[in-house]
Structure formats: C-alpha cells, structure tokens
Amino acid sequence: MTTFDTLAIIGIGLIGSSIAHAARERGQSARVRLYDASPEVRARARELQLGDVAETLAEAVRDADCVVLCMPVGGMASSAAEIAADLKAGAVVTDVGGVKKPVADAVAAALPEHVFFVPGHPIAGTERSGPDAGFGSLFENRWMILCPREDARAHYAEQVERLAAFWRGLGANVDMMDAGRHDLVLAVTSHLPHLIAFNIVAMAEDLEKVAESEVVKYSAGGFRDFTRIAASDPTMWRDIFLANREAVLEVLGRFSEDLAALQRAIRWGDGDALYDTFARARRMRREVIEAGQDSAAPNFGRDKS
Amino acid sequence: MTTFDTLAIIGIGLIGSSIAHAARERGQSARVRLYDASPEVRARARELQLGDVAETLAEAVRDADCVVLCMPVGGMASSAAEIAADLKAGAVVTDVGGVKKPVADAVAAALPEHVFFVPGHPIAGTERSGPDAGFGSLFENRWMILCPREDARAHYAEQVERLAAFWRGLGANVDMMDAGRHDLVLAVTSHLPHLIAFNIVAMAEDLEKVAESEVVKYSAGGFRDFTRIAASDPTMWRDIFLANREAVLEVLGRFSEDLAALQRAIRWGDGDALYDTFARARRMRREVIEAGQDSAAPNFGRDKS
C-alpha cells in the first residue's frame, strides 16, 4: 500500500535520487515527480529514469501529497516560498536538511497554512553527490530523525505518523527529536567531524615542507579515512556551517580546548595523560559496532581481497 | 627461495603476527621464531601456531638471520640492549616502528657492530591489536619504508637490498627514505590524524550536554569513522607521540591555525572562505584512490549488503 500517492522530490542529489529509488522499489509512492534547479541534473535524472522529471517547480509540486525538499539548507526557505502558491491543501511538506531549528523556522514562515510541515533529517549518506550517487538501500537500518513542529491542528500528529510510516517503508528507523537538540547532537556526530576532516585535508594539500604526492602515497597510515569525509559536497557543507553556527562553535571550542591539553601533554612528555585519553577513546568503537552503526570488520573490511 | 633462513619476531601484536603469517605463507623464511614479553601473548601465539615461540629473548634471537623488533617504539632501545649479546654476527636487525630518527639512533647505539641495522616502517595496519589480529595479506600493495643508516661497511647496501627483497616477498612495495623526512611525512599522514581522532572521540565521551548514547546512535553522520582510528592501541600511540614530539607539534600548530581560520569564517558567516577550503579538500580523495591507497566504493563499501 502506497503511503503517498504522488511524491514530489525537489533537489536531485544523493538523498533526492536515493528517495526516488527507494520509494519506487518499495512501493511507497505510485508516482514520483522530481525537479532540480539545474537543467543538466534534470536531463540526467530523465536518463536515469528516476521518475517524472518536471521542468518547473510549480509542475513538480502540483497535486503532490508529499513534497520533500532535498537541496542544500541555504536554499530551502526560498524554494518553500516559490512552491507555496502551488501546494495542494493538506499536503505533507518535509525536508532532509542537516540543520533543523533555524532552517525549519524559515521554511515554516514561507509555507501556506493549509499544508502540514514536518522537518526531517536522515542520518545516512556517502561521500558522493548528484543524481548518479543515489541507491535504494541507502536508508536501510539508518536513523531518520523527524522534528515535528508545535502545531495545534487536529490532523497534524496523524500526518507526522504518515511521514514516519513512509520512512519506515524506505527501511529507516524513525526517531522524534526536538529541532534544537538535533542541531546540538549532530554538531557533535556529523558537523564537527566533517569540519576537522576538511581542515586536515586542505592543510595537507597546502604544506610547504611535505609534498601533496607524499601525503597521497602514504595516506594508508590514517589520513585516507579523512579524505573520504572531505570529499562531501562543499555547497551542502558551507550551508550547514552557516546555519548551525552556534552549536558548531560551541563543540569546536571544546574540541580545541581538549586538543590544546593533548598538545601540552606531548610537549611536556606526559605519557600518562596521553594514554588515559587514548584508552578512553578506544572504548567507544565497540559501542558503535554493537549499536549496528558500523561494520565490525577491521579497516571497514575494505582491504581484504 | 627463502630470504632469511631463520626469522625472529620480537613483539607479537598486529604487525608481528602478520609478518609471521606472511613470511610462512609466502615461503620467505624456513623458520619463524617469536617472542613477546607477555606470557599470555606467548601462550596465545603457540595456540595460533604462529611459529616457534621462545621463552626468552636470548633463545628467540640466537642464530637468527633477521630480527624484527615489533614492540611499541618506547621499548625498542631497551629490547635492543637486551638482545645485543646474543645476536649472530652478520644478522640483519630491523624494526617496524612508526617513528624512525630518534628511535633508530637509540636502537643503533644499543646494538653490536657486527650486525646490520636497517630501520623500517610498513604503512599498513588495522584498528585491531594483539596476536589474533594478524593476517598474511596485510602488507599486500602497501608501502614499506626503509630508512638505511649511514653505514660505510661494504656489505651494508647488500643487506638493505636483502631486507627489501624480504618485504617485497611479503607483497609490499619498498621505498627508501631519510629517517627525519619519514618522521615529518608520517606526522601528517598518520600521527596527526590519529591525534585528532583520539581527541574528538574522547571529547564526545565526556560532553555535558550530549549523552554518549546519543553520539553512538547518530554516529553514521561521520563520527563513526573517527571511532575506528581511535580504537588503535593506546600504548603504541603514546610512544609515537612522545618520540616524534617536534614534528607532531609542528603540524599540529599548522592544523590549529587553519582550524581557527575556519572557526572565524563560521562566526562571521564567510561562506566563500568555507566553500574554497572544502572544495580544495575534496580534490584529494580522487588522488588517494588513483594511487591505489583506498577503495573507490562509497563509504569504503561497508554499507552495501
């Protein structure tokens, strides 16, 4: 049974194209309509047969039962304003942005009162971007966070549940969370890791004393892992850091403070302090594996032939 | 044809046990002898049938054609002193430590003049430790760095080539490098990445406002990658940071400086500066993959079922 008869996906990148694949493969929508601001991306989406590719935003969302905003968060509020007049009364509008509180507030302000807006964020992805990057199993056993608004309408909770059922239909586990809390937790588990990966890789590309070719050649010592995360889409990440400034600056402050303590321990030869920190960090790996959030195979299993 | 008739491996962790597997599977040594300071590890190495496990250091190295020191770098010079009197004249002594210049100087000072000492470092590993962690293909297509000493003896270069042939026999590609340069390059490609991974994971375990369980639950947003690196052996890493202090402090200073610039760009909403850094970092991923140093599959291939 389909959850949304007509699904409209705005923004055909990794997440948008993955939703298109998953919704059709798993029968969650009878019709999938897609739109992207780039004519090249629309043409590619047609070649990939991701669904009915519309030439305008208005055409994409007209009569849609659910509209999913899948562009970088910096463009969400203006996209919401553009589609506002064409949305069907009673439609569910949602998004997949990595920042929730400020983005959801801006999107909500742009939407008409006769739709149900339920912000969301799937904790799933790869380092790839664009319409070719998507695949239907991306959300399997990953968390989908919904951040329902304070909405007093009788049917709002019902529509939240309908959207949750849609995501469960795509294979995800659904969690409800306050938007502000989401932004703080994700600053730790996603935004800060990306920032320091971008930073170390950009730094290594720009060193005076060590050639970039040497860094690449000996990257199996740990560095290569950071290059994967740092290969993520720069526009998407620029928008995330601009939108989640306060939470990111808070956890970044704590990171730098702790790093300064390690720096000091190295300078003064305090081996006990180093050992204690390293041993504390080591324990968390097992918890991540036991929680089903990563492969237990050494080196993520990538090196075994 | 065996390169070394009798091989002695001192320290039976991930690297020591992997050398034992690889040397026997690939016929590089007729006899593999092993020793570890821990009686439990020696007992386990016997159960795993890694080779002839000796009860004393003297017994392990006696008549050995090649001795490989595989303990954390903090213990190498004292181990060298302990075996000095029992080494066969003409034996090749090498190591696998992650820091070369200060460690090699200390080991060289402890060794007798009638052996050939060739420091080395395989750029290969996993996050696992101990005698159970080893496997014979660990060195396949990975770089093995040798840092030959300034040694005027006629046969020294010949013994360096013999050790290089041994490592090629284990599947590795061999590079020669100055010890000081090794320590600077590896500070970038291995030591700094581990330090910041240890730091972010230990920080997340200790936050006031975000529970450890939340970090684990939503770790697929990027954080989980860091937990793998941070699961590495704390003693080994403590020793590396103490031994390679100057190079690590130098690249860490540069990392912190660049991170402060990103922090400022976030605070002042400078999206162009963020975009430029992220786009620059993105490019390096392709080079790492083209150099054969990582899997090209999204997410290291770990999430596909």
Domain A181-294 classification at class level: mainly alpha
Nearest residue to A139 via CA among A125, A149, A119, A153: A125
Query: Rounded distance, CA A193 to CA A159, Å?
Result: 34
Contacts A–B by Cβ distance under 8 A: 356
pLDDT of residue B301: 86
Contact check, Cβ <8 Å, A299/B238? no
Q: Taking a C-beta distance cutoff of 8 angstroms, is the pair B31, B47 a contact?
A: no
Q: Taking a C-beta distance cutoff of 8 angstroms, is the pair A166, A3 a contact?
A: yes
Q: Does the structure show a pLDDT above 60 at B304?
A: no
pLDDT of residue A303: 65
- Digit-coded pLDDT (tens) for B133-178: 999 999 999 999 999 999 999 899 999 999 999 999 999 999 999 9
ipTM of the complex: 0.94
Q: Taking a C-beta distance cutoff of 8 angstroms, is the pair B243, B103 a contact?
A: yes
User: DSSP string spanning B101-112?
Assistant: HHHHHHHHHHS-
Domain A4-178 classification at class level: alpha beta
Residues of A in Cβ contact (< 8 Å) with B223: 188-190, 193
Q: Does the structure show a pLDDT above 80 at B122?
A: yes
3-state secondary structure of B36: coil
Residues constituting chain B: 305
Query: Rounded distance, CA B39 to CA A41, Å?
Result: 63
Contact check, Cβ <8 Å, A143/B302? no
Provide the pLDDT confidence category of residue A1 given band limits of 50, 70 and 90. low
Query: Rounded distance, CA B45 to CA B62, Å?
Result: 19
pLDDT of residue A305: 41
Which one-letter DSSP state was computed for residue B6? Answer: E
Contact check, Cβ <8 Å, A198/B256? no
- Digit-coded pLDDT (tens) for A157-190: 999 999 999 999 999 999 999 999 999 999 999 9
Q: Taking a C-beta distance cutoff of 8 angstroms, is the pair B32, B56 a contact?
A: no
- Digit-coded pLDDT (tens) for B183-222: 999 999 999 999 999 999 999 998 989 999 999 999 999 9
> String of b and e for A290-301 (b: at least 16 CB within 10 Å)?
eeebbbeebbbe
- Digit-coded pLDDT (tens) for A5-19: 999 999 999 999 999
> Average pLDDT for residues A230-251, to the nearest whole number?
97
Query: Rounded distance, CA B188 to CA A154, Å?
Result: 58
Q: Which amino acid is at A109?
A: A
| Residue numbers of A between 213 and 252 with CB closer than 8 Å to B | 214-232, 234-235, 237-239, 241-242, 245, 248-249, 251-252
Residues of B in Cβ contact (< 8 Å) with A226: 193
> Average pLDDT for residues B101-111, to the nearest whole number?
98
Q: Which residue among B238, B252, B285 sits closest to A230, beta carbon to beta carbon? A: B285
- Average pLDDT over chain B, rounded to whole? 96
Q: Taking a C-beta distance cutoff of 8 angstroms, is the pair A150, A118 a contact?
A: no
- Matching CATH topology for A4-178 and A181-294? no
Q: Taking a C-beta distance cutoff of 8 angstroms, is the pair B195, B248 a contact?
A: yes
Nearest residue to B50 via CA among B15, B88, B82, B12: B12
Query: Rounded distance, CA B220 to CA A141, Å?
Result: 11
pLDDT of residue B199: 97
pLDDT of residue B303: 65
The β-bridge partners of B146 are: B120, B176
3-state secondary structure of B66: strand
Residues of A in Cβ contact (< 8 Å) with B199: 255, 258-259, 262, 277, 281
Provide the pLDDT confidence category of residue A2 given band limits of 50, 70 and 90. confident
pLDDT of residue B208: 87
Which one-letter DSSP state was computed for residue B189? Answer: I
Q: Does the structure show a pLDDT above 80 at B95?
A: yes
Query: Rounded distance, CA A127 to CA A141, Å?
Result: 18
From 3.40.50.720, 2.40.50.100, 3.30.420.10, 3.40.1390.10, which CATH number describes the B4-177 domain?
A: 3.40.50.720
């093995």: which residue's tokens?
Answer: B144
> Average pLDDT for residues A107-131, to the nearest whole number?
97
The β-bridge partners of A6 are: A31
| Residue numbers of A between 101 and 130 with CB closer than 8 Å to B | 123-128
C-alpha B20, offset from chain centre: 16
Residues in CB range of A41: below 8 A, 6 or more apart: A12, A130, A131
Q: Does the structure show a pLDDT above 80 at B305?
A: no
Share in percent of chain A as helix, strand, coil (round to 5): 55, 10, 35
- Digit-coded pLDDT (tens) for A55-101: 999 999 999 999 999 999 999 999 999 999 999 999 999 999 999 99
Query: Rounded distance, CA A210 to CA A215, Å?
Result: 7
User: What are the residue boundaries of the structural domains of chain A, listed by start?
Assistant: 4-178, 181-294
Q: Return the percentage of chain A with pLDDT > 90, whole number.
A: 92
